[in-house]
Structure 1
Amino acid sequence: MKILPPTLRESNRYLAIFVTSEGDIPRRDLVNEILFCAATLLGDAGSSEMGIHLLSFEENKGIIQCRVDRIWETRAVLATVTSIKGMRTRIKVLGVSGTVRGATEKYLLTQDINEPEPERKKTQTIKESKMIIDVGTISGKIVNRNNNEIDLLSEDPHSLEILNRSNTRYFGITVFDIKNKEIDV
């Protein structure tokens, strides 16, 4: 039997998930509970049309594959999972991507940066540079500036922790994000 060309294959989406529970959850129990909730919510025919597959699951993070037109049904199924083997459980969808690699890089942040980047000659200090991330602000040194785009190296330990978890070295901002528009060059 021939393999279908990519244009004729079913399109898939990949949901990055984070599982919060009272104890450790084995992969098999998670899969069984997701499939049980899908069958309960949508029936056997509906759950088979969704094409749900748990591709990876480590350290309470995982990637679930589903069909592109069944994303919202898959989210609904994941929301109905409330307990696994008697332990209260919550599955949070971190994001949706078109590729496994995209879901891993954007939402799961599994790799850390091990080697530090060498110092650049263009490191400049500005008087004040603040950027709002969630509820906080960031200040630091400008490492590189290209037209309206700025690479900012934060001095805040909490911000550095965020950068290390996200596999990046600098915050990318624009001149429009800066509170004080005067930049020392």
Structure 2
Amino acid sequence: MKHLPKHLRPRWRYLAVELEAWPDAGVRRGEFQRAVWFAAANLLGDPGSADADLRVVEYSFRDGAGEALVRARRGEVDRARAALACVSEVRGDPVRVAVRGVSGTMRAAEENYLGETAEPSREDDVAFGGGGERSGVARGERVDVDDAGSWVGATRRDHG
């Protein structure tokens, strides 16, 4: 089978995406891909989802933070961004999805937008709610506190 001539091949845009979840969330690539497809189908319908043709081409996630490179057809970037904004959970874990930027090549997207995962996380004991110390995970100014098996998002206290 012959390849299509260059002028007939589909053109792609690559969306660099930042992911953030609770520290114990284990979001795998296939689960994120299904969540993206589901969000696109719900927002755009089956024909619109097929036109956008969203596909996760690169993915990394650990310790509650990660990034992905999502491919979309040229001309469908706005619809792809809208579909990604509709992803609020993956396999029951709440997830924040933010598009860092869009490029015409994978290489440009990687160089310009990827490699800047959320601040490194570190576990620590924190004072929370006047009830003594609890286990927590700090990422920059944000702190996720383990409150009897569920997570609570907080910020650092000012010592002014």
Q: TM-score, normalised by structure 2?
A: 0.66
Amino acid in the other structure paired with 1:7: H
Q: Distance in 2 between matches of 1:109 and 1:63?
A: 11
Identity level (%)? 35
Runs of 4+ in 1 over 2 A off after TM superposition: none
Q: Distance in 2 between matches of 1:102 and 1:109?
A: 12
- Count of aligned pairs: 110
Q: Distance in 1 between matches of 2:55 and 2:91?
A: 20
Show CA shifts across 1:75-101 (max 9, x none). 000000111122111111010000000
Q: How does 1:85-96 map to 2 (within 5 A)?
A: 85-96=91-102
The structure showing larger relative contact order (alpha-carbon pairs under 8 Å, at least 6 residues apart) is 2
Q: Distance in 1 between matches of 2:115 and 2:58?
A: 14
Aligned to 1:165: none
Aligned to 2:39: 37
Structure 1 residue 109: Cα displacement: 2.9
Can you give the 5+ residue segments of structure 1 that lack an aligned partner in the other structure?
111-185
Structure 1 residue 61: Cα displacement: 1.0
Q: Distance in 2 between matches of 1:18 and 1:24?
A: 15
Q: Rg bigger for which structure?
A: 1
Amino acid in the other structure paired with 1:109: G
Between Structure 1 and Structure 2, the one with more strand by share is 2
2:72 paired with 1:70: no
2:8 paired with 1:8: yes
